[in-house]
Amino acid sequence: MTQAAKMKVSDEVAISIDQMNKWYGTFHVLRDINLTVYRGERIVICGPSGSGKSTLIRCINALEEHQAGRIEVDGTRLSSDLKNIDKIRSEVGMVFQHFNLFPHLTILENCTLAPIWVRKTPRKEAEETAMHFLEKVKIPEQADKYPGQLSGGQQQRVAIARSLCMRPRIMLFDEPTSALDPEMIKEVLDTMIELAEEGMTMLCVTHEMGFARQVANRVIFMDAGQIVEQNEPEEFFNNPQSDRTKLFLSQILGH
Amino acid sequence: MSDTHAQSVAFVRNTEIPPSLPPDTEGGVIKWVRENLFPNVLSGILTIVALYFIIRLSIFVVPWIWNGVWGADSLTNCREVLGGKTGACFSVITDRWHQLLFGAAYPRDLFFLSTMTGVPVADLVTPGGVRENTNFFQEFFFGYWRPVLAFVLLFVAIAPVLFSELPRKMLITTAIYPFAAFWLVWGGSLWVPVTILASLAIAYFAYSFVVNRSFFLGALSFLAVLILLLFDPIAMLINAAEFGRNSLAFLGWQRAENALPWVTVMEQNYPWLMNIFPLNAHVVEGLSTISSVSLASVPSRELGGFMLNMILGTVCVSLSLPLGILLALGRQSNLPLIKWVCVIFIEFIRGVPLITLLFVANVVLAYFLPPESNPDLIIRVMIMITLFASAYIAEVVRGGLAALPRGQYEAADSLGLEYAQAMRLIILPQALKISIPGIVNVAVGLFKDTTLVSIISMFDLVGLIRGPILASTDWNGVYWELFGFAALLFFVICYAISQYSQWLERKLQTGHR
Ligand SMILES: Nc1ncnc2c1ncn2[C@@H]1O[C@H](COP(=O)(O)OP(=O)(O)O)[C@@H](O)[C@H]1O
Ligand SMILES: [Mg+2]
């Protein structure tokens, strides 16, 4: 186990989800979700495709609306109040499977846009912060290029830097490496590991089990809109309890 | 090399084959003709048929242009000069160019013309429109310097919009241009456009002061300041109170002798509502007593010719673009009321021919509004054409919005951007880029459609040709030359626009994505 996984987690609550339910029309996507995330926790969410993993983390920053139950992020209750939503969104960073960089802006502009317009940071300061984080993800030399000129791995690292520029207290990752060629997955995972080691609260939807073993302090398995099993990584991988977890693990680990 | 190892599978190249020239048969004129004009029997036949028509056409057109008469003063005179040969009578253009370009009634600046040419004013005013003491260039540049200057400045003003390489500071000329052009074309006191511009500048200052907090607050303070400055708020309050009192009286809430008909109430108490530029008139008056800088004012009905088409085209395109964008955004709105208002508006306008809307502008609006309050016909027409074009632009922009991946909206949302910020900074720049070809299409179509105003008896280029020129005894029957000239003017502008849009598309394509 690495340093990150052993790191002490505080007992300050970052996210608390209580009896949350969501429907798409009549389709019940998320059922009775209860989840408490403590500050500094690194949680990996896995599960078969269509099990509601993306929907769950998208509910946390209100990209999706939930219909029942409550979600509190950093002590702020998510409601339909726009002010609350914008506040939570600026505290919670999100990294998408398809990067979703702004193609008409340079890398630097991608990173400074939200700090300037949402945080009202002066441009110069925002640019300094952006360069700091671009150095951290190891691509400061690309600052003046456009996203289309970068490789997938580089784009995803820019997307991470863009989120970090808002100095979020929580980071959400939705399959950040699934759209990448194999040789680029490592560079993105390394960035995420570094972030974890600094104590960032992270929720990652990913099927990178090596990453889960290395940095996660909790692994959550979802199926059919429910949390089926959650445990420490060692226990989760070596001693899965539910049959569905066993089946899933055998499908993605053993061939 | 390879043939010595023909049987073996493993292969390594250790010499390089040098590039050589293509065979001689792959070049030359003969090859080009064979490949492009006569590649097979069918294409060969088509080539011959096309050549036949091209030759037949040139046999007629070339001598027609070549023999063209330029100096005559009437069609009869033209025919005399031609003496039975085929030939065009271009004299109508040299004789009536000022009408074709600026309208029959648009006044020349005789004073300036006389100063620049040294010809006394009395000798410039010749009956019947024949200008014997000046030449075309003197007339065009000195006599009509106002619209000509407005036209030239138009290019200065749109250049920074069209070419993003130009310094952004030049956009200031774009902002000032409408006011400068208004003053040049319509004349009147300089203080009118200046006060409007100043009010807008102050309102913009208020906006930029507040916009950091919230875009909506910014927009609100912009409007508030503008209303405060442009409209006379105190007079408005008094008028409103008066209106309320009179309306109550009219409804019989007070003694009947106080009651006035509604229209009279409006006329008496709402002159500012009836005016098109309900600018705080006191300010203008006050400034004018200090110093009066003014050009001879020209009433709207004296604008005409190609100038009228240009004015309608530029004004309506530039107004319909922001309106169309708002409609497109409104159509996507989550608020059902806004959404349905936009949908109904767009679908209604798109379902109605422009000419119908123009008739509404001409006849129906005039019928409903009280006579003195009647805004200029040109303004009613501008409103109608703008509404018409904005519905089409809204649909084009909607296509652009729909083409953007959902991820762009989500990324903007997840960073905590407000709706207005997300639209302005992320969504619209990309959606508009996609919509450029469609928008240009609408703009070109709209510009040509401005000739429809000739049907409601406005004397634009086509109206002038069909009316005053063809009806005159001198030039009755000169169709080809006149309409050819009109076609040429429109073609030049529309071709330039379409070339620009193709250039822009190429530029955006090779650039970043
Ligand atoms: N916008 C939507 N409308 C209707 N159904 C949806 C929508 N988004 C996702 N779903 C459905 O919800 C389920 C869960 O989706 P998702 O959270 O994306 O799964 P996962 O990320 O675990 O693969 C899937 O069955 C999917 O088809
Ligand atoms: Mg998913």
Displacement of CA B330 from its chain's centroid (Å): 24
Confidence of residue B87 (pLDDT cuts 50, 70, 90): confident
B254 domain-assigned: no
Residue B389: per-residue pLDDT: 94
- The answer to whether residue A9 scores a pLDDT higher than 80 is no
pLDDT tens for residues B344-382? 999 999 999 999 989 888 877 666 655 555 567 888 889
Q: Which residues contact B68 (CB under 8 A, 6 or more apart)?
A: B87, B88, B89, B90
Average pLDDT, chain B: 82
Of B418, B426, B512, the CB nearest to A86: B418
Give mean pLDDT, residues A32-48.
91
Burial of B57 per CB tally in 10 Å (0-12, 13-18, 19+): exposed
Structural domain total, chain B: 2
Beta pairing class for A27-38 and A13-24: antiparallel
pLDDT tens for residues B229-258? 776 665 566 666 666 666 666 665 544 444
pLDDT tens for residues B44-81? 899 899 999 999 999 888 888 888 888 888 888 888 88
Tell me the chain B residues in contact with residue A86 when contact means C-beta distances shorter than 8 Å: 416, 418
B329 domain-assigned: yes
Tell me the chain B residues in contact with residue A102 when contact means C-beta distances shorter than 8 Å: 408, 411-412, 426, 430
A117 touching B, CB under 8 A? yes
Give the phi and the psi of residue B142 in degrees, each rounded to 5.
Answer: -100, -45
Rounded Cα distance between B184 and B193, Å, is 10
Pick from A75-79, B100-104, B231-235, B318-322: least confident: B231-235
Domain of residue B345: give its range.
Answer: 303-513
Position in ligand 1 atom list of the atom nearest CA A51 = 22
Task: List the structure tokens of B287.
Answer: 């400034």
Strand partners for A42 = A202
Is the shortest distance between the CB of A233 and ligand 1 below 6 Å? no
pLDDT tens for residues A70-119? 898 888 888 777 777 888 888 899 999 999 999 989 999 999 999 999 88
Rounded Cα distance between A122 and B171, Å, is 24
Of B405, B416, B429, the CB nearest to A114: B416
Q: In chain A, which ranges are continuous DSSP H helix?
A: 3-6, 53-60, 82-91, 107-117, 123-136, 152-164, 182-197, 209-215, 233-238, 243-252
Rounded Cα distance between B270 and B221, Å, is 24
- Per DSSP, the three-state class of B377 is helix
B377 domain-assigned: yes
Rounded Cα distance between B493 and B505, Å, is 19
- The answer to whether residue B439 scores a pLDDT higher than 60 is yes
Residue A2: per-residue pLDDT: 47
Of A89, A147, A163, the CB nearest to B413: A89
Contact A189, A107 (CB under 8 A): no
- Per DSSP, the three-state class of A14 is strand
A254 touching B, CB under 8 A? no
Place of tokens 């600052």: A143
Residue A4: per-residue pLDDT: 46
B336 domain-assigned: yes
Q: Would you say the C-alpha torsion B347, B353, B355, B360 has a positive or negative sign?
A: negative
Q: Which residues contact B182 (CB under 8 A, 6 or more apart)?
A: B193
DSSP state of B18: P
Q: Which H/E stretch holds residue B222?
A: helix B215-230
Residue B137: per-residue pLDDT: 85
Is the shortest distance between the CB of A29 and ligand 1 below 6 Å? yes
Phi-psi region of B127 (alpha: psi -120 to 50; beta: other; left: phi over 0): beta
Q: Looking at B11, B33, B62, which one is the last position of a domain?
A: B62
pLDDT tens for residues A164-211? 999 999 999 999 998 888 888 888 888 899 888 888 999 999 988 888
Q: Of A198, A204, A254, A195, which is closest to residue A233 (Cα–Cα)? A: A204
Residue B457: per-residue pLDDT: 81
Residue B115: per-residue pLDDT: 85
Burial of A173 per CB tally in 10 Å (0-12, 13-18, 19+): buried
B205 domain-assigned: no
Give mean pLDDT, residues B286-291.
72
Residue A234: per-residue pLDDT: 87
Phi-psi region of A201 (alpha: psi -120 to 50; beta: other; left: phi over 0): beta
Closest approach of A100 to chain B, Cα-based (Å): 5
B296 domain-assigned: no
Strand partners for A37 = A15
Rg over alpha carbons for chain A, rounded to the nearest Å, is 18
Residue nearest to atom 14 of ligand 1 (CA): A52
State the virtual CA torsion across B441, B444, B447, B451 in degrees, nearest 10: -100
Is the shortest distance between the CB of A142 and ligand 1 below 6 Å? no
Residue A208 CA to ligand 2 center (angstroms) comes to 14
Residue B239: per-residue pLDDT: 60
Burial of B469 per CB tally in 10 Å (0-12, 13-18, 19+): buried
Contact B414 A61 (CB under 8 A): yes
B330 domain-assigned: yes
* Amino acid found at B149: L
Position in ligand 1 atom list of the atom nearest CA A175 = 21
Q: What percent of chain B has pLDDT over 90?
A: 32
Contact A92 B407 (CB under 8 A): no
Q: Looking at B43, B62, B81, which one is the last position of a domain?
A: B62
Task: List the structure tokens of B474.
Answer: 């001198």
DSSP state of A15: E
- The answer to whether residue B511 scores a pLDDT higher than 80 is no
Contact B141, B113 (CB under 8 A): no
Confidence of residue A158 (pLDDT cuts 50, 70, 90): very high
Residue B259: per-residue pLDDT: 43
Q: Looking at B15, B37, B62, which one is the last position of a domain?
A: B62
Q: What is the CATH number of the domain that holds B331?
A: 1.10.3720.10
Residue B301: per-residue pLDDT: 83
Confidence of residue B263 (pLDDT cuts 50, 70, 90): very low
Is the shortest distance between the CB of A53 and ligand 1 below 6 Å? yes
Give mean pLDDT, residues A153-172.
92
Tell me the chain B residues in contact with residue A149 when contact means C-beta distances shorter than 8 Å: 512
State the virtual CA torsion across B250, B256, B258, B262 in degrees, nearest 10: 20
* Higher local confidence (pLDDT), A240 or A254: A240
Displacement of CA A171 from its chain's centroid (Å): 5
> B157-166: long-range contacts (C-beta < 8 A, 24 or more apart)?
B157/B181, B162/B500, B162/B504
Pick from B200-209, B253-262, B368-377, B492-501: least confident: B253-262
Average pLDDT, chain A: 88
Confidence of residue B1 (pLDDT cuts 50, 70, 90): very low
B180 domain-assigned: no
Give me the sheet containing A92-95, strands edge to edge: A92-95, A170-174, A201-205, A42-46, A218-223, A226-231
Q: Which H/E stretch holds residue B181?
A: helix B171-186
Of A87, A118, A147, the CB nearest to B415: A118
Beta pairing class for A170-174 and A92-95: parallel
Q: What is the 3-state secondary structure (H, E, C) of B471-484?
A: HCCCCCCCHHHHHH
